[in-house]
Structure 1
Amino acid sequence: MALKHEPTAPYHSAQDALRVLETVAGHSTGVTDTELARGTGLDPERLTALLRMLRREGYVEQITDGAYVTGETLRRLGSAHDRERALRDKLQLTLDRLRDSVGAAVYISRYVDGEVKVTQYADSPTTPAVNEWVDFRFSAHATAVGKSLLTQLDHDARRDHLSRHKMARLTSRTITSDKLLLSRLESQPPTVPVLDLQEYAIGTVCAAVPITAGAAVGCLALSLPVEHAHRLRQAAEALNREVGPVLLSLAI
């Protein structure tokens, strides 16, 4: 399976954050922001923003003299013992915070062995998850999650997926022409959220953004009741800004 897109801004943000973490980890007694700027080559404004995110996510901590040391999140994810559980717990905390900040149910999905798989999600009584009335594995053509994952594949991998899953009409808005869908996937910019405007289910709108890390294809998505459709664009942009912390968790 080949990937289509070049790394996007969140990917580069995660790479910069990793450089900061490597520098912090190399100073067991702590490292100042001045030393970090010198060691990473990042400009002060960029470094300040990254350190704010890394502190919020628990990757670094500040000690009494203001120097930075590794935080609990980094210690847990960096440990070989039960790393999978630590990663799942960290991603769930990120999803829970994101759900509350954007006011929508949020999801992480991966493309695994040629199939769409929602691996984690966060919802609440006021931000309900999508009712999976048709298995997400068989409805990639109609969901923001599925379309986001497909955009990250090359043309042959997309055709292979569509050849294995019939494009059923789920609502009056569902695209059932593989030619039309492939054309739209081809022209989808990697930095623009993919939308589902009641294509999967009447009454629900969704958005998804890619979280491609190495050879792994994934996406971060949200769903809203159609009466909140006016918030979709703004929520999707907020979602896009949060891709960096998710990519960072997956990269460590």
Structure 2
Amino acid sequence: MATATNAPAPTLIVSVQRAMRLLETVSSHPDGAPAKQLAREAGLPLPTAYHLLRTLTHEDYLRREKGVFILGDAVERLAIGGALRNRRTTLVDSLAHWRDAIGVPVYFAAYREGEIEIVAVADTPYAPAVAEWADFRETGHAHALGQCLLSQLDEQGRSDHLDRHPVQPVTPCSVRDRRALLERLASKERMQTVVERQEYALGTVCAAIPITAGSGAAAMGISLPLHQEERLFEAVEQLRNAIGGLLGSIAFSISI
């Protein structure tokens, strides 16, 4: 029988290792440090350090100011990207928790840069989310999340949105025109729960809860098959009670 051999050692790219070591060294000096000091602390020959510092500066990972090197914008973008992913993961995990606790699909939407955006959805094969058969951004007048977001806008913002996305019936149950939609929104208190029945998808009822997080408009919603409509309001109340624990993630999601 052949004797098992050790797995081959991974191939290491020395220049990448050295560049990362330099970046770590620069990060330990918030006010920057000169090339000679960085080379010494990173344990690199000075010519090698100079070459890597020039490359990292060219790629915007470092900046040279008054003879010292400091971290550049590319490093900050990497850090922000990691933070965004972590916070988005927290939001998705929270939605999944309440999906399982309440037994319904849970949605989070925000109004950003003039558009309705479904940021995250948590559902299961046994409680599927509503399929996006018509663009959610263009049909905000027909679904609970969209109506909830539009209700939080001021008159000018709402008018601008409806100019770009005119009200058109999506199903036989949908609001018929702009005037009817505006009358409906005006009849509701600004932070009231919005409920729609079969306006976006036949056989489905939905509810959305407005979220106040800074100056942004956001909403969380749920959906149920029409034959389970009696569960809707209890599920909404369970979600409303849960929202307080999500506000940190929600506020961050509105801002990104």
The TM-score normalised by the length of structure 1 is: 0.65
Deviation at 1:249, TM superposition (A): 2.5
What is the aligned partner in structure 2 of residue 131 from structure 1? 131
Q: What's the secondary structure of 1:135's corresponding residue?
A: coil
Q: Which residue of 2 aligns with 1:248?
A: 248
Q: How many residues align?
A: 174
Residue 212 of structure 1 corresponds to: 212
Q: For residue 75 of structure 2, what is the aligned residue in structure 1?
A: none
User: Which residue number corresponds to residue 187 of structure 1?
Assistant: 187
Confirm or deny that 1:165 pairs with 2:162. Answer: no
In structure 2, list runs of 5 or more residues that go unmatched: 1-78
Q: Which has the larger radius of gyration?
A: 2
Superposition deviation, residue 80 in structure 1 = 6.2
Instruction: Tell me, yes or no, if the aligned pair for 2:106 and 2:222 is still in contact at 8 Å.
Output: yes
2:199 aligned with 1:199: yes
User: Which deviations, in whole Å up to 9, do the C-alpha atoms of 1:44-102 show, x marking residues without a partner?
Assistant: xxxxxxxxxxxxxxxxxxxxxxxxxxxxxxxxxxx968211111111111101111112
Task: Work out whether residues 144 and 206 of structure 1, in 8 Å CA contact, stay in contact via their aligned partners in 2.
Answer: yes
Contact 2:109 2:220 in 1 (8 A): yes
Q: Aligned residues: percent identity? A: 41
Residues 125 and 81 of structure 1: is their aligned pair in 2 closer, same or farther, counting only changes over 3 Å? closer
1:122-160 superposed Cα distances (whole Å, 9 cap, x missing partner)? 000111010111000010110000000001101121111
C-alpha change, 1:251 and 1:116, in structure 2 (3 Å) is closer
SS of equivalent to 1:202:
coil
Give, in angstroms, the shift of residue 250 of structure 1. 3.6
SS of 1:242's equivalent in the other structure is: helix
CA distance in 1, matches of 2:147, 2:154: 13
- 1:111-150 pair list within 5 angstroms: 111-150=111-150
- Runs of 4+ aligned structure 1 residues displaced above 6 Å come to none
The higher-RCO structure (CA 8 Å, 6+ apart) is 1
Length-normalised TM-score, structure 2: 0.64
1:201 partner SS: coil
CA shift in 2, pair 1:89/1:182, >3 Å: same
- Aligned 8 A contact 2:108 2:121 in 1: yes
Structure 1: gaps spanning 5 or more residues: 1-78
Amino acid at match of 2:248: L
Specify the SS of the correspondent of 1:158: helix
Closer, same or farther: CA 163–80 of 1 in aligned 2, 3 Å? closer
User: In structure 2, how many angstroms separate the alpha carbons of the residues matched to 1:136 and 1:142?
Assistant: 9
Give the aligned partner of residue 239 of structure 1.
Answer: 239
Question: How many Å separate the matches in 1 of 2:175 and 2:157?
Answer: 19
